[in-house]
Structure 1
Amino acid sequence: MKVLIIEDESLAAEQLINLLYKYDKNIIVLEVIASVKNAVKWLKNNEKPELVFMDIQLADGVSFDIFDKVELTSPVIFITAYDQYAIRAFKVNSIDYLLKPLDFDELKTAVDKFKNSKQSSVNQDIIEKFKNMLTNNYKNRFVIKVGEHIRPINIEQINYFYSFEKATYINTSENRNYVIDYSLEQAEALIDPTLFFRINRKYLISLASILDIVSYSNSRLKIKLVNSDKNDIIVSRERVNDFKKWLDR
């Protein structure tokens, strides 16, 4: 297996290499790269690695910047020393990661998972979400069109985002509904996750938009939203625990 290591701490890189050789002495480490700039250059000019180990914080920025500058189709296992909120977000989005200081058993589990599932590259919307989370670079407003007019809507004016008939809408504090030029996944990646929560495939809601929360069947929750007459807005079962934590932040 041919792997690429993107890590700016020489001791951490050396430890990772030793653990990889302990896991499989036939692993080939193609290169150890310490910066976003050099990683982009290498990826543009070399063969595709079978697996990439990528530290989040590099010498010249966050590793998510790499995805903006080059198409990376190899599976990635991230290396992080970030807080529990970031780690929980990795878990929710099924992104593989290793926590510093590196541990052999955790590395073995991550690499075994890769070998057994042959996972594909990381979804770009998820990358954008984590990049925004780490840099606090969230959208403050969305631009909408009303006929021939263009109007900015501040994030504070938005109650929730929702999908309907292959389009994405926002509902505002004025109880107006506007189409936006983003998918729900893209909108989720661009806004502060402390302000909005994705409760299911169709709704991304703010705390202020919630009128009532009721226990529902199969450990789910039913939500009543402002400006909505729908009675079937459900927090999907796999999101309930994280939704409760989000409410209690």
Structure 2
Amino acid sequence: MNVLIVEDEYFSAERLRKMIANMDASMHVLAVIPSVFETIAYLQNEANTSPDLIFLDIHLEDDNGFRIVESLNLTIPVIFTTAFDEYALKAFKTNSIDYLLKPINPLELQASLVKFKKLNATLPPASGANAAEALVAEKYKDRFLCTAGSRIFTFTSIEIAYFVIEEKATFLRLFDGRHFAVEYSLDKLSQLMDPAQFFRINRSLMISITAIRNIHAITAGKLKIDLDPALGQETYVSADRVSAFKNWLGR
């Protein structure tokens, strides 16, 4: 896996390089580039190896890092690194995997790399920019931006166990147990989410197939589902959805 680091602070770049090497020996840092101009030149040069992932500082010595994304219409996945948090929303509107604040926390870096690998694993065989273009062209929604207080988080669909309506609001529940409000109704999510991964089992719940722990046939036409993480209440498939649910399980 080829990585490009765009960073104008030498010690920050070296620290990041060492952390990447210690966490994943399969990740090869192609180069450390300190400026927008040099990065654009590197990426436009077909003789250079195309990176699979770019760590991009926002404040560089000659311009704003977003200039690289905008100038090249960049489709290579990006993890933004910065000492400032005011650009988070803009970063998540680009082809970004994550947004890390300096000094970079090793655990947060590791989580970002895991997220990137999970995204890559869902793509058909491809490399470099082609894989990123496939990610951008994905038909179904694969990323959610959520807030908790002043903090901003982004999650991919494979991190989500289910969507649930609680007190007239829609929440997503992650496999690690955390939950966040989302701005979509379940009706809208039924259109946005990959039907191979998510199924709406009743009026208030849409689940990921990987969140199913057990299925119990209560009667011929009634199914009870055990979820992981647990919902906190008994969960049933609506009678009018049982047939479609079984077809979904066996597709």
TM-score using structure 1 length: 0.47
TM-score using structure 2 length: 0.46
